[in-house]
Amino acid sequence: MTCRVCKTESCVDVIDLGHQVITSRFPKVGEAPARTTPIVLMMCQTCGLVQLRDLVAGSDMYEHMYGYRSGISATMRAHLREYNDEIMLLATPENGDAVLDIGSNDATFLKMYPNTLTRVGCDPTGKQFSAEYDGLTLVPTYFSKEVIAPLGLTFAVVSSISMFYDLPDPVRFACDIHSVLSPEGLWTFEQSYIKTMLERNSFDTICHEHVEYYGVRQIKHILDLAGFKIVRVSLNDCNGGSTRFFAAKKESRWVEDARTVQTLLDGEAHLADPKTYGSFMDRCDGEISKLQKHLNTGASTYIYGASTKGNCLLQYAGIGPDRVKYAVERNLQKVGCTTSTGIEIISEETMRTSPPEYLLVLPWHFKQEIIDRESEFLKAGGKLIFPLPTFEIIGYSAK
């Protein structure tokens, strides 16, 4: 296999989650499931990039009903609000400037910018959220400099949040952003950090949608190739642990944050060792074994939150309708569908009429929000199961 960044052929297998149904799809009850594709990660021994071996066509993942909505989670809305505030303070766009959000989804983030800016979203899933784009410009397709060119705009800010790891050609993507960014503009992007993914046993981050699994080393290499410098980089807890970058054109007046970059690079040496990934999967298998032991008791357990990451966990662990009767979901678009393992999705309201003993929380990285939301369920004697980063069962605790 040829590395997607450095183009050498020195990749070795490091993780194998087996053949899985496309993890971002939620078929209707009775509908045939999507085809299976292997989820195998390979590591480039030249540049260190960890990446999917087998690609799924974007049309199979993004052009049917796409299940994720940024605005559903209060935790995510608060995170995006903080992110937008940082952009406004750092980039200081002026009235009339244009901003571009790539992977704009339901426009939650884009609408946080003041309406004195020209706000553009680019996302093939945007068609299903078109009602959210009133007062905004939507380009409902995959980003490239060619699809943006007809707008006749250059951008003071370009954002690409939780999508830079979805790309078959990240270097070309970065070069295209360089083309549409204004001379002193900023490109900011955030995605899961492979170092944190390993530390937190987040194997469910690995799915068909996520093509690359980046360390700072690989991000810096891509930015160098595309003519960018890193002017700010930070870590946060979003989605189980993420890196946030701000990049500017090399010839701009922005000052490179070389010290922070080097500090992070110094902590990544172990990521180049294939044994790191075997140890990671051994730990994950241990947590899955604890979950299996609970399910084997026969206690009434429903899934809480039907998600892409959850589909990965369910398939890897072999959890289907023979072991869990229902999956519970806030997003009503998913109600009447099934998880990738065939578990029927019902609404929260339906679940509350006859609640189970346990709710298995698949979006475990929203732990505190879910504990708060389900306080009445807990008070009534129900329990929440968090499968990762370590298996944990939480019951009611009086404050």
In a domain, 236, yes or no: yes
Task: Give the count of domains, the chain.
Answer: 2
pLDDT band at 260 (very low <50, low <70, confident <90, very high): very high
In a domain, 122, yes or no: yes
Q: What is the CATH number of the domain that holds 382?
A: 3.40.50.720
The pairing of strands 358-361 and 11-21 is unpaired
* Cβ pair 73, 366 in contact under 8 A: yes
In a domain, 1, yes or no: no
In a domain, 290, yes or no: no
Element of type H or E holding 355: none
Same domain, residue pair 74 and 125: yes
Residue 128 has a pLDDT of 85
Same domain, residue pair 63 and 185: yes
The average pLDDT across 219-230 equals: 98
Same domain, residue pair 50 and 183: yes
Same domain, residue pair 142 and 233: yes
Alpha helices (runs of H) in the chain, residue ranges in sequence order: 58-62, 74-91, 145-148, 170-180, 194-199, 216-226, 258-266, 275-295, 308-317, 348-353, 367-373, 375-379
Domain boundary among 272, 289, 318: 272
Same domain, residue pair 266 and 315: no
Bridge partners, residue 165, by sequence: none
Q: What is the CATH number of the domain that holds 80?
A: 3.40.50.150
Same domain, residue pair 358 and 316: yes
Look at residue 67 and tell me whether its pLDDT is greater than 80.
no
Same domain, residue pair 268 and 303: no
**Residue that is written with structure tokens 């292997």 in the block:** 38
The C-alpha atoms of residue 178 and residue 379 are separated, in whole angstroms, by 53
Same domain, residue pair 268 and 305: no
Domain around 113: 11-272
pLDDT tens digit sequence for 310-350: 999 999 999 999 999 999 999 888 898 899 999 999 999 99
Same domain, residue pair 153 and 42: yes
